[in-house]
């Protein structure tokens, strides 16, 4: 998760926030991040949406519906 300051900079301008991005990436060093992979959304299912806004809402909904992983699996164990 990024810092509150990072999100505040996004309120000013996305380009300003972009300058802060390297710092946000490297302040995660030493911590373990969880990554979840959901079900495939077919091209046919995506083509039902006529504009990017409605597709974006659908994708956001699908992401938030994903269950949290039960445990962290380290990358070199896969």
In this structure, the number of other CB atoms found within 10 A of the CB of residue 10 comes to 15
Place of tokens 């999100």: 7
CB 7 within 8 A of CB 28: no
Query: Over its length of 78 residues, how does the chain's per-residue pLDDT go in tens digits?
Result: 889 999 999 999 999 999 999 999 888 888 777 677 778 899 999 999 999 999 999 999 998 888 776 665 565 555
pLDDT on residue 29: 82
pLDDT of residue 68: 72
* Radius of gyration of the chain from its Cα atoms, rounded to whole angstroms: 17
What pLDDT score does 74 carry? 61
């Amino acid at each position: 998760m990024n810092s509150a300051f990072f999100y505040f900079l996004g309120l000013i301008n996305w380009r300003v926030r972009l300058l802060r991005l390297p710092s946000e990436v490297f302040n995660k060093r030493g911590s373990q991040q969880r990554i979840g992979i959901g079900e495939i959304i077919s091209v046919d299912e995506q083509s039902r949406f006529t504009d990017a806004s409605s597709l974006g809402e659908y994708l956001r909904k699908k992401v938030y519906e994903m269950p949290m992983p039960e445990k962290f699996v380290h990358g070199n164990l896969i």
